[in-house]
Amino acid sequence: MKELIQNHLRYDENEVKKFLKNPRNQEMLAKIPEIQDSTFVFEVIESRGCNSGHKVGDKLYFNFEGNLLTKLCPNKICIYALNPIPMIIRAASELMYAGVDPNEMKFKSVSCPDVGLKCDGWGQIVLKFSAIKKM
C-alpha cells in the first residue's frame, strides 16, 4: 500500500508516513475497492441557447476520483457547465466513503451560471447527476 500511495501521489517518504498515520486516510483507502467501479454522470436534461451546443441527452462522465473521462464526453465542453459539478462530486464522494449510495442525494440537478435569454443571458443548461457502475 505504501508504494502504491507513493507512486500515485508522488509523495516522498515523510509524506507517505504522514498520510498513512491519519486514521481518516486509512478508512478511506479501505473503501476504495468497493467504490472504484463507480462513474459519475451528469446528463443534460434541459438546454436552451447553449453557445457550446450542449443538447438534452449529452453526458459528462467522471470517475469516482473526480477526473473527467474525456473519451466518453462530447468533443466540446463548456467551461461554465463544469462550474457547479465539483460540489456535487464532492458530496457524492463523501456519501460513498460514508457507505451511502450517492443516488440517494436529494438535490442532484445543477445549472450552468448563464441565466438564459429570458434573464438577459444567452443560454442555459441543466445537468442531472447519477452514479453508475464503471462503463
Mean pLDDT confidence for 99-121: 93
Distance CA 50, CA 70 (A): 20
* pLDDT at residue 135, as a whole number: 63
Cell 473519451 belongs to 71
**Closest Cα partner for 92 from 16, 19, 39?**
39
Quote the pLDDT of residue 5: 86
Average pLDDT over residues 75-88: 95
Question: Any idea which of 30-34, 42-46, 83-87, 95-99 has the lowest mean pLDDT?
Answer: 30-34
Report pLDDT digits (tens) over 9-43. 999 999 999 999 999 999 999 898 889 999 999 99
